[in-house]
Chain A
Amino acid sequence: MDIHEYQAKERFVAAGIPVPPGRVVTTPEDAEAAAAEFGGMVVVKAQVHSGGRGKAGGVKLAKDAAEAREHALNILGMDINGLTVGKVLVTLAEDIETEAYAGVLVDRKSQAVTFMISAEGGVDIEEVAHSSPDAIRKLSVDPRYGILPHQAYWLANFLYDDPRLIKQTSRILMQLYDAFIDSGASMAEINPLITTPSGEVKAIDAKMSIDDSELFRRPDVAAMRDTSSEPASEIKAREAGLSYVKLDGNVGCCVNGAGLAMATMDLVKYYGGDPANFLDIGGSSNPDKVVSALEIITSDPNVKVILFNIFGGITRCDDVANGIVEAIKRIDIKPPIVIRLTGTNEELALEILAQAGFSAYTSMDEVVEKAVELAGVA
């Protein structure tokens, strides 16, 4: 789960990281009031879950409160990569001497929480990692000890020569680690980490992603979820315990297992079609889940055909069949449904489906070809 910049900054501030004063607002009037209170130049920043906010015109410098109001008026309601801006952060503008990058993430390669530091701030760190890996210093943290003071110093020393800047940065890195752990994050980033002409180190941007598996035990973090930027279908799917990602095609896919669901989408493409979604009904055998899945898929007006691909293991084919039959009773489904079922309780499932007037395929290729054909005709 991604959280907004202003929320990440709240976590940073709680950990002690110096962040310029700021306030999140939803109206131009409040933006003006905040700017007047801070005094001086402010930055008005769109709060959306998207990169490239600056490029899209969602980050503007204002010299006074009146200009802050004007920028807020323009940015609020703006569309950035398909997301509507509902909130802006008004924050005091800092004098910037240097910009650096400081990030911490769960690194698969080292199997550990890992710091990445670079003197090249304000840029895409993946790009830097790719083009000039020597410009990055990395440190994998031993979970038994957390980040140790000398390790934080070693990282900070890569950025600055001035001992005062090194000292401040070391402290910030240790605080960043605390914020990361206390939030159950999978990624936390200060980009840029700046120095000011007077010799202070501050975080002027903040980014944080939370591990979804942490949310059950961190209600304060879970409460930060902003559903306004999610399609309604994805919210409904999450509440129903389904993994669903909406896409642009017209072949609605309903599959058990994430790997098979991706392979099914790929096969739709292989046969010349376009998947409307990724959907994993999961391992459990609950007919209600199938009903929810069908409700979600049919709520997408692009869907011309619904494709089931079920390989029964823990998932019992008869449960899925019952779910399909139940869904047809409860909701009005217009697109044709094509079904492939194989594995646990396959025969039973075929009987249930036959009674409801459905036949089923046993091969994944056959059913996908059929679905693509129907999507083209409809």
Chain B
Amino acid sequence: MAIFIDADTRLVVQGITGRDGSFHTREMIEYGTQVVAGVTPGKGGQTFEGPNGVSVPIFNAMDEAVSTTGANTSVIYVPPAFAADAILEAADSGVGLVVAITEGVPVLDMARAHAFARDRGVRVLGPNCPGLISPGKSKVGILPGQIVAEGPVGVVSRSGTLTYEAVFQLTSAGLGQTTCVGIGGDPLIGTNFIDCLEAFEADNDTTAVVMIGEIGGTDEQEAAVFVSEKMTKPVVGFIAGRTAPPGRRMGHAGAIISGSAGTAEEKIKTFEENGIAVAQRPADIVGLLQAATN
């Protein structure tokens, strides 16, 4: 098993003909993801020629793509100015999961898009996220397929490359993963830590979870309380940004300490108070995980 995506995931790529969209569509097909449709307005009727002889039909709009191909998940690579509209269109098309990779979507656009998706019972992952991968089954987004391996560890993170670092170390130590999820670095995200922890707790194949947070907001603190109250599986944590100065945005729009709230210290303390072992360095995650699962 895995969470959110698996071998039955049928993916439609919004923005399939763009630079990022086409590159990552090839990567996803190469990994084994069932990419069943692409959407680019004005290019309906054409096909996208992927690797391994895979040919993907392109549609002008999402409803056509979904009704024709039975897609159940979408991934969005469209530019920031149009990304929120793409999410709204996806949420109206019948897919159950929308993965928004785009960085730099205006937050007020996302406030509307999230409310719209929630009303329709559609899960949004992101925006400004690397997507997710269920090793050996499906990859949706931009996570590099070569660093993951099948196994029992769930990974959830606000970051992209820091997740790669952690996953790479897990895989090198022989600890494979059920699913690795990047929830995104924006202030308003559709799927938060608790949503992922809940899904990992319910997933029979996941035996432990690695949770990677960073400065800004209170998502990690709330997740820590959830872990101690609702989870039976061990969780190991890491928080980036111990050295980040207050009031400065550290790359991610959501990574900012406002006043005295959202510091790494506060998050680490809450993790520890709730029984989550916190790694000092990314290299310590493996050891803590092994200790927690023995």
Contacts and interface: CB of A to CB of B under 8 A. Distances in A.
B243 A269 contact: yes
Interface stretch (A12-20, A150-158, A197-205, A255-263): A255-263
A211 B168 CA distance: 34
Contact of A213 (B106, B163, B260): B106
A184 B80 CA distance: 14
Contact of B251 (A143, A278, A314): A278
B212 interface: yes
B245 A262 contact: no
B15 interface: no
A313 B161 contact: yes
A186 B280 CA distance: 32
A124 B130 CA distance: 36
Q: Which of B108, B161, B253 has the most CB of A within 10 A?
A: B161
A108 B188 contact: yes
A296 B164 CA distance: 27
A342 interface: yes
A245 B283 CA distance: 25
Given A257-B159, A257-B160, A263 B108 contact: no
B80 A216 contact: yes
Contacts of A313: 130, 142-144, 160-161, 164
A249 B159 CA distance: 24
B292 interface: no
Contacts of B291: none
Contact of A263 (B106, B107, B162): B162
Contacts of A258: 159-160, 185, 214, 250-252, 255
Contacts of B168: 311, 342-343
Interface string B226-266: 00000000000010111111001111111100111100100
B142 to A, nearest CB: 6
Contact of A143 (B111, B158, B249, B258): B111
A362 to B, nearest CB: 10
Contact of B255 (A124, A126, A262): A262
B250 A211 contact: no
A46 interface: no
Interface residues of A, number: 53
Interface in A265-303: 265-270, 275, 278, 280, 283
B241 A262 contact: yes
Given A258-B159, A262-B244, A311-B161, A267 B105 contact: no
Given A108-B219, A245-B248, A267-B281, A259 B158 contact: yes
A260 B169 CA distance: 14
A295 to B, nearest CB: 19
A56 interface: no
B255 to A, nearest CB: 6
Contacts of B142: 283, 313-314
A212 interface: yes
Contacts of B68: none
A269 B281 CA distance: 11
Interface stretch (A32-40, A70-78, A109-117, A320-328): A109-117
B1 interface: no
Interface in A137-152: 142-144
A265 B244 contact: yes
Nearest to A265: B243
Contacts of B81: 216-217
A181 interface: yes
Interface in B147-184: 147, 157-165, 168
A186 B216 CA distance: 14
A364 interface: yes
B163 to A, nearest CB: 7
9 contacts: A112-B111, A113-B108, A143-B112, A211-B107, A216-B81, A256-B161, A258-B250, A312-B144, A313-B164
Interface of A: 106, 108-109, 111-113, 124, 126, 142-144, 181, 184, 186, 211-214, 216-217, 243, 245, 247, 255-263, 265-270, 275, 278, 280, 283, 311-315, 342-344, 363-365
* A-B CB proximity, top 3 nearest: A259-B159, A258-B251, A257-B161
